[in-house]
Amino acid sequence: MAAPTATAPVLPDRTTPFKMKDRVVAAVDLPGIPAGTEGKVFFVAGFDWIRYWVRWDNGVTRGSMNRKVLVRPGEPFGAELAELEAAATEVAAAPAGAADEGGGPTGGEGVTVAGVLIPAHLLERAKKRREVLGA
């Protein structure tokens, strides 16, 4: 019986834009809006540089908000998100032999980031390139 392999946790997709009337949660403390406060998007502005106007449940209305400070209800943020990212890093840093059972060109399972599987051979290639560049 094969040993269970560690799989990376699925990190939330922070690239999908919000639409008007979407419910959101403040991911960080903002002036007058503590982290975790829920609200509703009532205006979306911009083409490449999208900003949101939100009416928060605590009565505050705030505009020109970046997607980086907003999450969907139920998505992890703050310490919970940091734990998920740390777990994903641990799985990516695991020795190739620990996860490699089937062999093949991928050299393991890889890591899932934002719902996309990054094959282990690409992670290894990036690691070697960073070493060459001294990063």
Parent domain of 44: 23-71
Task: Pick 95 or 34 by higher pLDDT.
Answer: 34
In this structure, are 57 and 100 located in the same domain?
Answer: no
Is residue 4 in a domain?
A: no
Between the alpha carbon of residue 22 and those of residues 13, 61, 119, 122, the distances in Å are: 16, 15, 34, 36
Is residue 15 in a domain?
A: no
Longest CA–CA separation in the chain, Å: 57
Is residue 6 in a domain?
A: no
Residue 109 has pLDDT above 60, yes or no: yes
Task: Pick 50 or 75 by higher pLDDT.
Answer: 50
Is residue 7 in a domain?
A: no
Whether the model pTM is above 0.85: no
